[in-house]
Amino acid sequence: MPDQEKTAVGSQQELIIGQELKLADKLAVQRTVLAADRTMLAGVRTSMSFIGFGFTIFTILRYLQEHASVKLMRAQTPRNFGLLMLAAGTIPLFFMIVQYSRILKRMGKTEGVFGNPNFQMAGVILLLGIILLVSLVANIFLL
């Protein structure tokens, strides 16, 4: 019985997408897309905060460690905390991008990834996070 309901709902969605939508339905789709945009931008903002804080705290702790006359922390503490914060900003952003693209696809939006400014911004921040993560990991193996 639940399988029949799923197929009925799926075929009903296909019929709605194939038909000309009423104004109220068009506006509902637009509101859903705008809600997805807001969610995506909130995720980008949060990821930027985590990435920025992770890189900043790594730099500050490393500076304190190098210039302190007394040993304040373990040698790996700045690196570990920086990696944790960078990963906490970068990994969820990747999944946010995937979720956002699925929502847009489900809503019938066919614009390309490179034409959407939200994707562009998220991609740049994701690339920045990956570069910073790689640079910290490279420092792990160079030390």
What does the alpha-carbon distance between residue 40 and residue 44 come to, in Å, rounded to a whole number? 6
42 close to 103: Cβ distance less than 8 angstroms: no
85 close to 54: Cβ distance less than 8 angstroms: yes
CA triple 49-40-27, angle to 5 deg: 150
pLDDT, tens only, 66-123: 887 777 788 788 888 888 999 999 999 999 999 988 888 888 777 766 788 888 889 9
What does the alpha-carbon distance between residue 117 and residue 35 come to, in Å, rounded to a whole number? 15
Is the overall model pTM greater than 0.75, yes or no?
Answer: no
Residue 12 has pLDDT above 50, yes or no: no
Core vs surface per residue 26-37: b (16+ CB within 10 A) or e: eeebeeeeeebb
Mean pLDDT of 29-58: 89
Residues whose CB is less than 8 angstroms from the CB of residue 116 and which lie 6 or more positions away in sequence, other chains included:
104
